[in-house]
Structure 1
Amino acid sequence: MAAAVQSDDDLVEYGYRRVIITITAVLCALLEIVDTTIVNVALTHMRGSLGATLTDVAWVITAYAIANVIVIPMTSWLSQQFGRRNYFVASIIIFTVCSFLCGNATNIWELVAFRFVQGMGGGALLVTAQTIITESYPVAKRGMAQAIYGMGVIVGPTLGPPLGGYLVDTYSWPYIFYINIPLGIIATILAISFVRSPKYGEKLKANQVDWWGIILLTSFIGSLQFVLEHGQQDDWFNDSLIVTLSVVTVLGLVLFIWRELTYKHPIVNLSVLKDGNLRIGTIMCFILGFGLYGSTLIIPIYTQSILGWTAMDAGLLLIPGSITTAIMMPFVGNMIQKGVPQGYMVAVGFLVFFFFTLLMHDRMTPDTGVEHLFWPLILRGIGLGLLFVPITTLSLSTLKGKQIGEGAAFTGMMRQLGGSFGIAIITTFITRFSQEHRVNLINNLDPAKFEVQQRLAGMQKAFMAKGFTADEAMKKAYQAIDYSILKQSTVLSYMDIFMYLGVMFLCCIPIIFFIKRGKNKINPADAMH
């Protein structure tokens, strides 16, 4: 939140106005977050209709993520420059117009360009919606405000795949973008009619704007995201472009930090990171993003590519866990207001998440059914419920005044960055582990062994019964075994990913011992960005 001249209570709303503002803010946050994951299930259809490679089509997700992460830390400053309501309404309009343009894109790079601009509007929606919903509630009820907002943020990523699956299966992929248009128009009208702006201090003149800060932030985050997304397929540091962009990332980051610490009007206030709890909180937000977006990516891929489910079935699988998180949010908000230490809740949340990964590791096979995955995903929902609000609030528990808003911008950015890292690293390791397991499995399949010969002969007979010649049938038998090995090695790689994710969450538990108890009692909803 930028330095507002009004007191905290000046923007508090009551009655129907507060209800409408809450609906508008949650709708906008949901629009943004659902759009982060809704495209996952439509990538194959986009490839076919736009004639793109898998590498090209991945940029539909990457471009949006880059724009999100660039805009989030700048939102506090942009709200101050243009007025919060104006900035919020402009963001909804940009997001809605770009949704229409994405649906009408005629080639993959047009779509990527529109997705980038859509992400610029979307990142602003996420952060500004949180500020608006918080300030519309009196201090005593802000715990519930944060819980209501938290429901949207946590449920959003899991609503995307089933909704996307339904729209793609029933209509076609452009409809995953068109669905935003009527919702965006409603949100624009409601925001213009009901949202109010705080009175800000003096605006910066054009020559005072931190243009170098903006350029450095954009260059280092954009380069980092490219390296993460393309490192694996381009053989990491054996590729000159990856090496160049890695250097740009490191140099850009160092120069950005130096610029923000020395410039009089920085676009991102880094001095707020001197607070120990905020530093710990940003690390935990990063890990939360890693776990949330990483597991949201891996489960639909596993169920569709290995178990042969439809996009819609894969998405629906995640819904019960999301509902569990949504039910938990008000209880968690209430517990924080009653004084239950957030650190304890975070520790239990990480432990529950560890048990979720352990169960997933044990239950993954090429023939796993819904009944095997239901309870692990309910556990995931409980873990996320115990992590989201407590991490956000303890991050800010020792901050005061406008620092609370600036600190919350970092927690939002780190959650998104964690998601980007999670998706990139998990994708890389799935490929690596699959190759390793494939080699090991093939080494155990010695054609001289009697069991192997017997299985091949049986499969050959089965194919010959379908009318193939002896040679064709043997070729088909080898192909079938090769496919079986590929499937098994992929499942083993997913099991490895869940094991490492679990270890990572387990290792996070001791971090809570470094948390200081805040003297000022922070409301769960003072996560104003």
Structure 2
Amino acid sequence: MAETGIKKWVITITVISASLLELIDTTIVNVSIPQIQGNLGATLEDVAWLTTGYAVANVIILPMSGWLGSFFGRKNYFLGSIILFTIASFLCGNATNLDELILFRILQGVAGGGLISTAQAILLETWPPEEVGIATALFGLGAVFGPTIGPTLGGYITDNYSWPWIFYVNIPVGAVAAFATYTFINATPKTGRGKPIDWWGIILLAVAVGSLQTLLEKGESEDWFATTYITVLAVAAVVGTLLFMWREMTTEYPIVNFKIMRHRSFSLGMLTSFVLGFGLYGSVFVFPIFCQQLLGFTGQQTGLILLPGGLCTIAMMPFVGIMLKRGVPAQFMATAGMVLFFVFSSMLSKSTLSSGTEDFFWPLVIRGIGMSMLFVPLTTLAIQDLRGSEIGQGTGLNNMMRQLGGSFGIAALTTLIHIRQGLHRSNLLSNINEYNPAFVERFQGMVQSFVAKGYTFLDAQVAAYKAMEGTVIRQTLLLTYTDIYWISGIIMLCAIPIVYLQKFNKNANVPVDVH
């Protein structure tokens, strides 16, 4: 039953705060990795498991969250996830070695996977059906803003405090969210109790999704199928997925109810969520590397550059929810969001080596507006036909697809960066020869400049070649990132036709869970 008055807003703030914790933690650690690496005496490859372990645990739990909510009761499961996440944050901050930290990050990921989908389901229960667009918009604040603010917050904490504080900041928020959940959120029946537990489904899900996520996280750095364990993971992901789907379609009490795929809007919504994850996480991943590796910005500077776009998302989300409530078709708003994302990508593709922080303000503002017009309409379209307990299952699967889309996006874009880097470098080096007048003129100018600074002629030539190599590297990276921005924008545009295959309803009201 929907809530009214102050209780509705207390529950809304509670579930958004809890889910925001999890979303921020997906990116906040990234900027602190060098400090953690030095403090714990670990290699970069080992420290990378802090991100991989968290993501793998998170994505395994997401599709199970609907079943776990029915088994333990949605309120109990949500409260338990908050408490476990808060305790895991404290343990992460107190870790004395890398093995402990990775273990506690995995524990964080397990708890975090129960926060997102359960929070969204609770929110849909709390708001009346005619205001579900506003509820989805409010939830979208965290889903889009979390990954954006994470690097800014992480950079500030790392620069001004020590790395354990990126975990300690979760504790007071988690404690307040746990208290508010216990006090204000209504208990729901444990409808899953008394039924057989699908242990084989749980095992196969862990194998399939865990292998796939690890493959995407580590594949590029391990040169993909040149490494034996990556090949094993790929086989495990394919075989595990097929066996998992067969198991869930044939057992009477599945851990994931694939019967909800009968809803065309939901099936297509899974695909659009995948594309949304690709754009959301892929762009947040590429842009900081571009700024820091090529333009020389610090982590905190990069985070602050991203902040205005995140603020635009916050400002736009309620507006998007109101527009949906007033009958503006979700397809139209999603199309506008995808076009704006393409505009953002197109503007960034025109960046130069002399681009400053002010050059990224408007592109990122446009991205922020576009993302606000994507998350809410796409989620509304996906879950508009779900009923009863299907909502918990649907939000879990939908969030998992967005997460996997982000992982695929990061893996694909990283691989493309290396491929295009090699191609552009080869093309640029072909112009560096004594038969190219432009090269000869520039090279001789460099040599003369170094000689004027006191270098011998031979030393000046060596220095000129090194300077030319630096120029080639920077131009190679610039051309590569230009390609990546274009590819990201085009992929988003290609997803536009999909939304028009979904149920076209100007006044789509998402039903709330009957529990």
- Pair 1:306-2:294 in alignment: yes
Cα distance change, pair 527–514 in 1 and its aligned pair in 2 (3 A): farther
When normalised by structure 2's length, the TM-score is 0.94
Q: In terms of mean alpha carbon deviation, does 222-231 or 459-468 score higher?
A: 459-468
Deviation sequence 1:71-92 (CA, Å, 0-9, x none): 1111111112222222112211
CA contact (8 A) 2:118 2:392 kept: no
Deviation of 1:217 after TM superposition, in Å, equals 0.8
Cα distance change, pair 269–202 in 1 and its aligned pair in 2 (3 A): closer
Mapped partners of 1:246, 1:158: distance in 2: 30
Deviation sequence 1:307-358 (CA, Å, 0-9, x none): 1111111011111111222222112111212222111221222122111111
Paired letter, 1:160 = G
Which of 385, 393, 413 is equivalent to 1:406? Answer: 393
The DSSP-based 3-state class of the residue aligned with 1:318 is: helix
Mapped partners of 1:464, 1:172: distance in 2: 46
Match of residue 489 from structure 2 = 502
Taking the TM superposition and a 5 Å limit, the aligned residue runs for 1:331-342 are: 331-342=319-330
Taking the TM superposition and a 5 Å limit, the aligned residue runs for 1:149-188 are: 149-188=139-178
The DSSP-based 3-state class of the residue aligned with 1:29 is: helix
Deviation of 1:304 after TM superposition, in Å, equals 1.2
Mapped partners of 1:499, 1:256: distance in 2: 36
The DSSP-based 3-state class of the residue aligned with 1:184 is: helix
Match of residue 474 from structure 1 = 461
Unaligned runs of 5+ in 1: 1-8
The DSSP-based 3-state class of the residue aligned with 1:309 is: coil
Mapped partners of 1:277, 1:235: distance in 2: 37
When normalised by structure 1's length, the TM-score is 0.92
Unaligned runs of 5+ in 2: none
Match of residue 396 from structure 1 = 383
- Pair 1:415-2:402 in alignment: yes
Mapped partners of 1:412, 1:151: distance in 2: 15
- Pair 1:489-2:476 in alignment: yes
Cα distance change, pair 81–421 in 1 and its aligned pair in 2 (3 A): same
Which of 422, 425, 431 is equivalent to 1:444? Answer: 431
Deviation of 1:118 after TM superposition, in Å, equals 0.4
CA contact (8 A) 2:225 2:231 kept: yes
Q: In terms of mean alpha carbon deviation, does 249-258 or 148-157 score higher?
A: 148-157
Taking the TM superposition and a 5 Å limit, the aligned residue runs for 1:17-166 are: 17-166=7-156
- Pair 1:514-2:507 in alignment: no
Deviation sequence 1:491-515 (CA, Å, 0-9, x none): 2111111111111111111223322
Match of residue 306 from structure 2 = 318
Mapped partners of 1:57, 1:432: distance in 2: 25
Match of residue 343 from structure 1 = 331
Which of 349, 353, 357 is equivalent to 1:361? Answer: 349
Q: In terms of mean alpha carbon deviation, does 171-180 or 54-63 score higher?
A: 54-63
Deviation sequence 1:98-157 (CA, Å, 0-9, x none): 212222333333322221110111111111221222222233433322221111111111
The DSSP-based 3-state class of the residue aligned with 1:437 is: helix
Mapped partners of 1:461, 1:179: distance in 2: 55
Q: In terms of mean alpha carbon deviation, does 342-351 or 394-403 score higher?
A: 394-403
Mapped partners of 1:411, 1:342: distance in 2: 17
Mapped partners of 1:517, 1:179: distance in 2: 43
Aligned residues: 514
CA contact (8 A) 2:120 2:395 kept: no
Deviation of 1:455 after TM superposition, in Å, equals 3.5
Mapped partners of 1:520, 1:446: distance in 2: 65
Match of residue 194 from structure 2 = 204
Deviation of 1:405 after TM superposition, in Å, equals 3.1
Match of residue 5 from structure 1 = none
Paired letter, 1:283 = L
Deviation of 1:237 after TM superposition, in Å, equals 2.0
Cα distance change, pair 337–520 in 1 and its aligned pair in 2 (3 A): closer
CA contact (8 A) 1:398 1:520 kept: no
Deviation of 1:459 after TM superposition, in Å, equals 3.5
CA contact (8 A) 2:73 2:190 kept: yes
Cα distance change, pair 108–462 in 1 and its aligned pair in 2 (3 A): farther
Mapped partners of 1:354, 1:52: distance in 2: 39
Deviation of 1:242 after TM superposition, in Å, equals 1.6
Paired letter, 1:377 = L
